[in-house]
Amino acid sequence: MNFFFRITIPKETSKEQPYEEKLKISCGVIRNVKIWVLPGHAGLAGLRVYFHESQLYPLNRGGYYLGDNMAIEFEDNYLIGIEPYQLKASGYNEDIRYNHAFLLSLSILREGPEATGEAVEFNRYIGETGE
């Protein structure tokens, strides 16, 4: 399953009082994460992602994704198994003229009794290869 979010952080949003948005997802394992820092940010806006008040991305505590016109992509193996099944985007924007947006894409592999055929095939593959 793939989830896609556009997180727009209003201009003049401080780190001390960040913009926050709940991102509803499903239970499963986060396998792939893509974050786009759109053009025009000029390093003035930063984004963090939390799961249940624990900073999940970036992993370095207190860090932010920031930059200008760049994409960040990485693999993960993070289980989302506790309700509510949601992440929290938190960010700041020091720009005094413009709002700035980040794009976030998550690929989540469902596991458990409600697993899709794709998850069953994945589990079968893991069992056959022993990886």
Q: What is the 3-state secondary structure (H, E, C) of 73-95?
A: EEEEEEEECCCCCEEEEEEEECC
Give per-residue pLDDT as tens, 12-22: 999 999 999 99
* Distances 28 to 12, 43, 47, 85, 117 between C-alpha atoms, Å: 36, 33, 23, 9, 14
Structurally, at CATH architecture level, domain 2-129 sits in: Sandwich (2.60)
Give per-residue pLDDT as tens, 65-107: 999 999 999 999 999 999 999 999 999 999 999 999 999 999 9
